Chain A
């Protein structure tokens, strides 16, 4: 299926992907409400990109007690049913690649914009590329594991904000 290939080594840290994602999904610009997140490494530029990989064995679906997560059989996209999601965050514990929106008590998950992702269209560094990929390929699995591990390490050293601080701001 057509998936986003993530080449974090190319990422320059501009975060236009976050701006475009929140703009098309929410009608406003916000990194906290973007389905894709970039965590910048100022010193060396080893930026970290976190976005749902729509993998073949989604541990998020298994972890959800409310049945709010499922895979669309036609497109293969792993999606969230916001009517059922209560924002408990269990799926984020299982796989930290999506975003918990505490304000609205729901999970924000990449929906691939119906097959034509905006983040890819505004990525000029070659970090995000739309490609025909096997969601079960070993490379995808190791990307998921490595990214999860790095995100957890960051949380240990100083937590990434969207999960650590409550979303007090608005509007």
Chain B
């Protein structure tokens, strides 16, 4: 089989031992790579009662079969561990070109066990692999770590995956970063890496990825480039990046505002791409193998917020912008740079800061609790002061460093300010009048806690033909799409969407260039690229089945962690159905529970959300049943 390098590293940090082993075919064919490979490994190897920040947790990073090839936008890497926030699955993917380099060095996956007695980094140069002392890197920012390692290793092409000070200080809002600014790892995976005393992975590879059918592969890749570069949606992506969503969400009253209390932010025009482009945008930046290049460098020339950096996304503009009431673009760019340097997740950190601001609004926090920081909505300077205090766990910052869910246990009466699912901050959900309710179901049931990237947000991304096939007719499919606020059929929509997201995360292709809505790649086109690359003949339907298998594996991980139907829900505020001048917002809980029933039924899960024996048998997962006593639930 081509595509995969067929080799993985097992690094035993406690003992300082490194083992190379072949990647089993069974894992490649049933889980592809990346997210799927990591999730299955977590299910197999994690002790269920492991402390997420203790030596028993496992930290993994993996690439997929298409990384390091000409297939478009195959730049992603996935990091996975037991979540330090939900206690279940914790993972996330990032871009840049770390995964490409890892493949060229000869590996599909690295698994870290135990805890190193002293700070180390893993150095990989093709088949040379070593754990090296990292005491001189302690406390360094993500960018300093990158620069330092490139210099120390005398190779500017070394690619570095690392944590910033936040991860070192076990801040549960910390992510893992590659290329200084590409982040991944929801659920405090940066803190998990920090708990292992692992500061970085530095990789350099001069090998190659072999292609089963080079001519067919290049033809399929070129077809894909053509489709993507012709898409008006992706052309807008190239021009504006994800920040274009600000205008869209402002227009549909779905812009998460002041800790999701509202869907309209009066200062939204200062957050748009136009506000960004006129003053700060420099040039485009691409991740590995991407013909779109949606990210932009930025610069704030002077003033109190002077800064430069990269990747001003929707995911950095709304969490501190509308969600914290800040309407100053220069300040938001400064905040983005600070988060990148410290190694903080902008979604979760913005969610936690806006939670604290709502506590302030309600008088639950006062100046004596916050070390004299004024947390009024829109106070950008206070946020800029607060971020390092979170990353270094100083004073009030230390309280927020564990995320809003754990912080609320120490702030009396603050539960009403919580916007979390399974302990994870709800990123960008507001049930505005035109918001399709399937998004609510998606956030409530996503495997790593509240999540906009695991299905339900990009509707019907796998394509209309597939939906028609499942529902039997075009009319039935259209009916589902027509009324966004009806509960009908949302379970079907979401199931397929989740399967597709698992599929693309396992091929490690960027979610921006997949899906019918964006005129991106559909499962059949992904199958064409996959088959020409690996020589393994699989159809779009086969790949979707892999996606379903991965979703079920992740469900088993969460069930084992004690999560059930009670955890597949949303914060109360979403269940307040309100008539506003702009239309109905929110939804009734009864409607939500009906949608959840529908979703479980279509998934082949019982009403507690437990996969049935039949479903597990169909997916070849019955071998895992005994251990989790699934039968107790399903029979």
Contacts and interface: CB of A to CB of B under 8 A. Distances in A.
Interface residues of A, number: 43
Nearest to B284: A12
A32 B249 CA distance: 44
A31 B151 CA distance: 21
B206 A28 contact: no
B510 to A, nearest CB: 12
**Interface residues of A, dominant DSSP:** loop
Interface stretch (B123-131, B534-542, B582-590): B123-131
A113 B111 CA distance: 41
A114 interface: no
B156 A158 contact: yes
A165 interface: yes
B282 interface: yes
B141 to A, nearest CB: 13
A115 interface: no
Interface in A76-119: 118
Contacts, number: 154
Contact of A45 (B217, B222, B283): B283
A168 B104 contact: no
Nearest to A41: B156
Given A14-B287, A14-B291, A168-B128, A154 B156 contact: yes
B207 A122 contact: no
A168 B208 contact: no
A44 B291 contact: no
Interface string A1-35: 00000000000111110011011101111111100
A167 B286 CA distance: 26
B69 A19 contact: yes
Interface in B56-75: 68-70, 72
Which of B128, B205, B206, B214 gathers the greatest number of chain A CB atoms within 10 Å?
B206
Interface string B289-323: 11111000100000000001010000000000000
A26 B211 CA distance: 10
B206 A44 contact: no
Which of B97, B153, B157, B308 gathers the greatest number of chain A CB atoms within 10 Å?
B157
Contacts of A33: 208
B218 interface: yes
Given A16-B291, A31-B104, A168 B210 contact: no
A22 B308 CA distance: 34
A166 B293 CA distance: 31
A121 B127 CA distance: 34
Interface in B202-251: 204-211, 214, 217-218, 222, 225, 229
B627 interface: no
Interface of B: 68-70, 72, 97, 100, 104-106, 125-128, 143, 146, 150-151, 153-158, 179-181, 204-211, 214, 217-218, 222, 225, 229, 282-293, 297, 308, 310
15 contacts: A14-B290, A16-B72, A23-B217, A28-B210, A29-B211, A30-B206, A32-B104, A32-B206, A45-B285, A45-B310, A124-B225, A159-B155, A160-B155, A160-B156, A165-B126
